[in-house]
């Protein structure tokens, strides 16, 4: 019984990787998820940094 399931699963898996549209869709979804995670990390890092203190010209003298 396990051989039948494994064989059917391998057949479906091989069919998936042979279809270029499935590979392209997987690549697009992966890039989208990576971009969202990158933007979230970017927002967290620059949100935690404090802005530089402004020094007025009168205080320098």
Q: What is the pTM of this model?
A: 0.57
Looking at the domain assignment, is residue 54 inside a domain? no
Q: What is the pLDDT of residue 10?
A: 66
Residue predicted with more confidence, 39 or 61: 39
Residue 60 has pLDDT above 60, yes or no: no
Looking at the domain assignment, is residue 26 inside a domain? yes
Query: How many independent structural domains does the chain possess?
Result: 1
Q: How far apart are CA 14 and CA 8, in angstroms?
A: 10
Q: How far apart are CA 12 and CA 6, in angstroms?
A: 10
Per-residue pLDDT of 25-43, as tens digits, reads 999 999 999 999 999 999 9
Looking at the domain assignment, is residue 47 inside a domain? no
DSSP of 1-57, one letter per residue?
A: -HHHHHHHHHHHHHHHHH-HHHHHHHHHHHHHHHHHHHHHHHHHHHHHSPPPPP--H
Instruction: State the residue range of the domain holding 9.
Output: 1-40
Tokens 């091989």 -> residue: 14
Helix axes 2-18, 20-48, angle to 10 degrees: 80
């Amino acid at each position: 019984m396990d051989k039948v399931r494994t064989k059917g699963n391998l057949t479906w898996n091989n069919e998936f990787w042979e279809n270029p549209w499935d590979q392209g869709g997987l690549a697009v979804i992966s890039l989208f998820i990576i971009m969202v995670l990158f933007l979230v990390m970017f927002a967290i890092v620059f949100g935690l940094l404090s802005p530089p203190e402004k020094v007025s010209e009168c205080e320098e003298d």
